[in-house]
Amino acid sequence: MDNLTPSQRSHCMSRVRTSGTDLEQLLEDRIRGLRLRYRRNDPSLPGKPDFVFLRRRVAVFVDGDFWHGYRFPAWKGQLSSFWQIKIESNRKRDRRNVRKLRTSGWKVLRLWQHDIQNSPEQCLTRIAYALGVRTRPQCKSDAAVRVS
């Protein structure tokens, strides 16, 4: 049972951001270091991927653990029927969009919230691998090196 009125719930849900989230910003800061062209939330592609590398045909989705149902079968019994239906429909839509992209010749990466939070550099490595580029290791000593 929801403890909010429908208008309160509507207000809360309207405040949930769908793009430009902290996770996306964290990842975007690192992607910029690759110096490759990309688009954000391209509406011409199924699912409006968060990052689109057109030339290399790679689409990257940044998925929240709750909204996209990370390991959903393990915890779906703890939710009301409304949320079970909502998250299951999100998961079905995600699978449909990935299938459409892949049949169109796109590589699709799905990065989970907890993976980005725990290891953004490893997520960047996955993106670079899908793009076929090498990432340069970031050394703190690089900033200290001065050319005379």
Which position has the token pair 């939330």? 41
Predicted local distance difference test score (pLDDT) of residue 60: 97
**Do 59 and 51 form a contact (C-beta atoms < 8 A)?**
yes
What does the pLDDT look like over 1-42, one tens digit per residue?
567 677 776 666 655 555 667 888 889 998 998 888 999 999
User: What is the average pLDDT score of the chain?
Assistant: 85
Residue 81: CATH number of its domain: 3.40.960.10
Residue 18 lies in a domain: yes
| Number of structural domains the chain divides into | 1
Residue 110 lies in a domain: yes
Is residue 47 over pLDDT 60?
yes
Domain extent for 92: 10-115
pTM to 2 decimals?
Answer: 0.79
Nearest-angstrom CA–CA distance, 111 and 65 = 10
Residue 135 lies in a domain: no
Predicted local distance difference test score (pLDDT) of residue 35: 85
Residue 62 lies in a domain: yes
